[in-house]
């Protein structure tokens, strides 16, 4: 009898495994870019020259390392806001100056009031569903008389969000408005404990229950030691933790447009670095929003005053930004809302 029961269990298990594999195959096959030529056209408007202009401005010495609440960071926030105004990418109706004040009372001692910056493109068919593309705008300021420019951390992510926003806006002007709304969120106070994104998720301007996904960008302009012999990579963190479909969408975007190595090393549950918990996407994940964290890993200039704009790999930065754009395009334009489940 024991033998018969064991055999039956094996049979049931095999059938269950087959059904699961079929679900996975069906899900993968359901993800496709029917408008691939259109996506490629706007994706290719993301260019190294414009990224360099943004990044050199953001990480300039004149901004004194962009410490949260200090004048240099406020100047960079105004630069970001002015760029959205120039592109005619609008602010939320509730915050017409693009700023969400983050009061000093919710920040660590000695910091001044600061601000998150929010711009968005309204969707054509599902305007009340939202995809966030986020990056933190602050850095570490001046330490022992040295300016910490933070070109990669996170001038690279900030510049990428601006270029991605411009690419989507060009599509809108040509008649390709996204079906869902896309929110471009620049958060403050990441370096001092993810306070800007925490404040936003506790006081969201757009309802989090209607948020499809958050794509967070934090350091995508350099190459780490692990990939010194193959720079065409990006670490993808968190993509499969809350939505199997999101994981496969990023893979499909990469296969269709960028052909980077998607490295999941830091997505492992036992990652000793705990990167999944260390950037702004995590506060969205805590609210049940499926997330992806795009990251290039640490390098010799990480959290040092030598993290400067001249060391950025601009072609690689552009390629990684294109991957994020393509992922966001699919999420924003799919006929069916992202399934926030693990299969």
Token readout for 164 is: 């991605």
Distances (CA, A) of 115 to 34, 52, 67, 186, 196: 39, 24, 12, 9, 8
Rounded-to-integer distance, Cα 324 and Cα 316, Å: 13
Helices (H), 146-209: 157-173, 195-202
Which phi-psi region, left, alpha or beta, contains residue 293 (left: φ > 0; alpha: ψ -120 to 50)?
Answer: beta
Residue 64 has what DSSP assignment? G
- Beta carbons within 8 Å of 170's beta carbon, 6+ residues apart: 42, 45
| Cα→Cα distances 281→21, 185, 287, 307, Å | 29, 11, 10, 23
How far apart (Å, rounded) are the C-alpha atoms in residues 231 and 260? 9
Coil, strand or helix: which one is 136?
Answer: strand
- How far apart CA 250 and CA 248 sit, in angstroms, is 5
- Of 57, 163, 190, 245, the active-site residue reads 190
Please list the alpha-helical segments (H only) found in the chain. 2-30, 36-43, 48-58, 71-87, 157-173, 195-202, 244-253, 281-285, 314-333
Q: What is the DSSP code (8-state) at residue 337?
A: -
* CA–CA dist 264, 293 (Å, integer): 11
Catalytic: 71? no
Residue 127: φ, ψ to 5°:
-65, -20
- Phi first, then psi, for residue 88 (nearest 5°) are 60, 35
CA 296 to CA 310: how far, in whole Å? 17
State the catalytic residues. Answer: 190
């Amino acid at each position: 009898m024991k033998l018969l029961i064991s055999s039956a269990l094996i049979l049931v298990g095999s059938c269950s495994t087959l059904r699961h594999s079929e679900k996975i195959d069906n899900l993968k096959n359901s993800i496709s870019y029917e408008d691939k030529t259109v996506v490629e056209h706007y994706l290719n408007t993301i260019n190294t020259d414009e990224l360099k202009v943004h990044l050199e401005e953001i990480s300039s010495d004149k901004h004194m390392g962009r410490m949260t609440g200090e004048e240099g960071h406020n100047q960079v926030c105004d630069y970001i806001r002015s760029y959205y105004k120039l592109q005619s990418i609008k602010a939320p109706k509730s915050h017409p100056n693009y700023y969400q004040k983050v009061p000093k009372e919710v920040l660590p001692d000695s910091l001044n009031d600061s601000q998150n910056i929010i711009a968005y493109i309204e969707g054509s068919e599902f305007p009340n569903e939202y995809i966030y593309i986020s990056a933190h705008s602050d850095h570490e300021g001046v330490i022992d008389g040295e300016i910490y420019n933070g070109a990669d951390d996170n001038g690279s992510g900030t510049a990428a969000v601006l270029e991605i926003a411009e690419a989507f806006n060009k599509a809108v002007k040509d008649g390709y408005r996204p079906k869902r709304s896309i929110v471009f969120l620049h958060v403050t106070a990441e370096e001092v404990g993810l306070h800007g994104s925490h404040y936003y998720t506790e006081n969201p301007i757009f309802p989090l229950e209607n948020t499809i996904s958050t794509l967070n960008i934090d350091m995508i302009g350099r190459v780490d030691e692990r990939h010194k012999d193959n720079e065409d990579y990006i670490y993808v963190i968190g993509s499969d933790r809350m939505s199997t479909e999101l994981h496969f969408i990023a893979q499909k975007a990469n296969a269709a447009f960028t052909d980077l190595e998607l490295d999941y090393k830091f997505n492992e549950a036992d990652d000793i670095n705990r990167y999944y918990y260390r950037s702004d996407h995590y506060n969205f994940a805590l609210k049940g929003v499926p997330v992806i964290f795009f990251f290039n890993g640490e390098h010799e200039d990480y959290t040092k005053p030598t993290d400067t704009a001249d060391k950025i790999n601009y072609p690689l930065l552009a390629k990684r930004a294109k991957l994020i754009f393509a992922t966001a395009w699919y999420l924003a334009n799919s006929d069916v809302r992202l399934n926030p489940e693990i299969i």
